[in-house]
A and B are shown apart, each in its own frame.
Chain A
Amino acid sequence: MDLQLSPQHLAFREEVRGWLAANADRPWREVLRGSTATEDSLIEARRVWQRKLHGAGYLGMDWPAEWGGRGGGPVEQAILETELIEADAPPILNTLGIGLLGPALIHHGSEEQRRRFIPPMLAAEEIWCQGFSEPGSGSDLASLKASAVLDGDDFILNGQKVWTTFGPWADWIFVLARTDGKDRYGGISFILCKLDTPGITVRPLRQITGESEFGEVFFEDARVPRTNLVGEIGEGWRIAMTVLAYERGAISFTQAVQYGRDLGRLATACKEIGRTGSAVREKLGRLLVENEVMRANGIRTLANFADGKAPGAESSIEKVYWSEFDQRFRETALDLLGPGGQLVRTSPEARDDCDWARQFLWSRAETIFSGSSEVQRNIIAKRVLKLPQDPR
């Protein structure tokens, strides 16, 4: 066993720290609270920050160098993310492009597609959104109905996507569409669509946080060139599965850093407002312990990555753990802070250490997206525990 970062990794961390010390802007939580902050201005701030990171070579860390990556691995990626969290840097803008589509193109795209789409993705010139879910297909994604029919050199798309994060701001969408109505998995294809194509309409949807971070996308006889097909016709499901594997990654490691940072702030806040009784301490103690165990899970995954072991279905255990932990954490935070914890971030009276109210609300989404907690437990039961499946 060796859970220590290697000298190269430590050197990389020093490099990132040095760069952040010289280049980090105002802490993101201050930007969020700014009196002139709007959803649009925050999007622009994220774009600017992404370009800065890109200029320094910190995007697509684990991509091959020819695609603007650093040829690093998941450990470098995790170190970078950890340092960004510690510095309270803004999130990048093109998370779905870089997090999901980039790897899909690197693994399954054509040379031309990589050349065409990767550079503007990294430079935040083209923002991407992910069109998988539909009104009738979420957990049961393979039941999706949006259709793509080949007509000469074009596909004609019809149908609807929903809960599309960044839909209202994106320039492009990668969609799963049905090219064969009879073949459940083999009838799905992976297609790139420009959102200003005639026949495509995007409408924002308001989330429980009040923000319109996601939206719905309608396709009515939208014509998309066949060259925008990634992989072969019917390969979409396989590509989507690679993409989703990336979505899971070594996430507990970085989450533990973020939650640990916020938990420290909660502990300080409790002292400040005189909440130091044993009932309060027990709650803090339990959160601390659970976060530390999550960190241990993260270190284990990261060490396995570094040791050349790809994560399997165990990543479902991590997803359930971090998302459900965050809910307990944010609920407890509001309990301990009292009504003051419910102040919205733009209220001048709100605490400036963390946006407690929004994080409390946001944590409800975490057990739904990227495979709900129920779906993850199904995966654990089937693939890890190999339990008998219910006859349908």
Chain B
Amino acid sequence: MRFELSEDQALLRSSTRDFCQRELPIDKTRVVMEQSKDGYEPGMWRSFADMGYLGLLLPESVGGQVLGAIELAVVMEEMGRVCVPGPYLDAVLAASVLATAGGHEQLLAEIVSGRKLVVLARDDSPYRGNRAEPTRFSDGRVRGTKYFVPFGARADALLVVTSDGLVLVDAPGNMTALETMDQGQRFVAVALDHPATFVGPLSLLERIDQIGAVGAAAMLLGVMDRTLEITLDYVRTREAFGRPIGAFQVLQHRMADMLLRAESSRSAVYRGAWCCDTRVVETALACASAKAYAGDAARYVCGQAIQLHGGIGFTWELDLHFFFKRAKTLEQRYGATEAQLENALAAAGY
């Protein structure tokens, strides 16, 4: 038994950390998140392709790296530490579905090289009294409305989840931007009545959802880790009542709890990733648990980080709010907590 990463995985971690610090420091990406129409720069996507991130899970035949969920977790964790914007996990998951379905070699090669973006369009839950009908596929057309499609405005094609299976549709022009609080995660709503091609049954999503849950939980872990570091630095130097505030026991215990949640998330994320790669029976339970736990944990850690900074913690100028917002977005995506609790209960047979 061994919990540590393998040599190659550790190398991937250090190269990704270097890459993120060099190319995507948060003082640079925050400007992009604030100012760009799309939330991220095309240049970032090209460098992801160069680093091999876009084909991480894909076969060699399409230029992929043939790696697994542990490597994905490593990359996601590092990206979480700098709060990387953009549809990285969405692209990885959509590509995996296409690869598992078989065929699509040409499209996959274009995804791996960063020339095309395909994302999953799955959410048809209404949020404002506009009751959506389930999306259907028949006679070669997909019909319905999808909400909160990640980075739909930049996508070349959507992999749409319908009651009749998964279908691929060229990205239509009529999208409505849904601007949310996390500027690094952009969404659209899209009304579909378009020609589409069938990709495969919904069962293709089962494994992808587990990998997605672990990937998102890993980014949450990176978010927590970095937020805790920032907070520790702050409480060591900020003084009140003649001493560093980090000397106050009540804050020490708060930070002990933050660490407990971050480290427990780490155990759960990497166990979940290992389970995905090893395909053991406890995979479903381990992945659901990692995501449900990390979602709650990150909300706590990021919220307390703001609290421990006092007034400055509430400013736009400080980076904390990017992490806080990302934590909330991720908590609700890739299987929100409520859905993961149901997944866990089902996996345990309760």
Q: Which residues of A contact B (CB under 8 A)?
A: 1-6, 9, 75, 264, 267, 281-282, 284-286, 288-290, 292-297, 299-300, 302-304, 306-307, 314, 317, 320-321, 374, 376-378, 380-382, 384-385, 387-391
Contact = CB atoms under 8 A, between A and B. Distances in A.
Contacts of B292: 285-286, 289
A46 to B, nearest CB: 31
B342 interface: yes
B104 interface: no
Interface stretch (B32-40, B56-64, B146-154, B268-276): B268-276
Contacts of A376: 256
A246 to B, nearest CB: 20
Category for how many chain B residues contact A: 35 or more
Interface in B227-268: 232, 235-236, 243-244, 246-249, 252-253, 255-257, 259-260, 263-268
Nearest to B343: A285
Contacts of A75: 1
B345 A303 contact: no
Nearest to A1: B274
B288 interface: yes
B267 A387 contact: no
Contacts of B345: 281, 284-285, 288
Interface of B: 1-6, 9, 70, 232, 235-236, 243-244, 246-249, 252-253, 255-257, 259-260, 263-268, 270-272, 274-275, 278, 280, 285-286, 288-290, 292-293, 338, 340-342, 344-345, 348, 350
Contacts of B4: 1, 307
Contact of B341 (A5, A286, A381, A388): A286
A289 B5 CA distance: 24
Nearest to A306: B1
Contacts of B274: 1-3
A89 to B, nearest CB: 24
Given A1-B270, A297-B267, A307-B4, A385 B256 contact: yes
Instruction: Give the top 9 A-B pairs by smallest Cβ distance, nearest first.
Output: A285-B341, A381-B252, A292-B289, A296-B267, A267-B350, A380-B256, A303-B1, A303-B3, A306-B1
A9 B270 CA distance: 22
Given A300-B267, A306-B1, A314-B263, 6 more contacts: A267-B348, A286-B341, A300-B266, A378-B249, A385-B232, A387-B252
Given A300-B267, A387-B232, A391-B243, A377 B1 contact: no
B348 A288 contact: yes
A302 B267 contact: no
A292 B350 contact: no
A9 B264 CA distance: 25
The SS class assigned to the A binding surface is helix
A296 B268 contact: yes
A62 to B, nearest CB: 15
B256 A293 contact: no
Given A299-B271, A385-B255, A289 B1 contact: no
Nearest to A308: B2
Nearest to A282: B341
A320 B256 contact: yes
Given A293-B290, A384-B259, A385-B232, A307 B2 contact: yes
Contacts of A385: 232, 252, 255-256, 259
Contacts of B235: 387
A48 B278 CA distance: 42
B317 to A, nearest CB: 25
Contact of A300 (B3, B70, B272): B3
A278 to B, nearest CB: 9
B191 to A, nearest CB: 32
A386 to B, nearest CB: 8
Contacts of A9: 1
A6 B1 CA distance: 7
Contacts of B342: 281, 285
Contact of A288 (B264, B265, B268, B344): B344
B249 A284 contact: no
B115 to A, nearest CB: 33
Contacts of A303: 1-3
Most B CB contacts (10 A, CB to CB) among A286, A292, A378 go to A292
B291 to A, nearest CB: 9
Contacts of A391: 243, 247
Contacts of A300: 3, 266-267, 270-271
A290 B337 CA distance: 13
A308 B271 CA distance: 19
B1 A390 contact: no
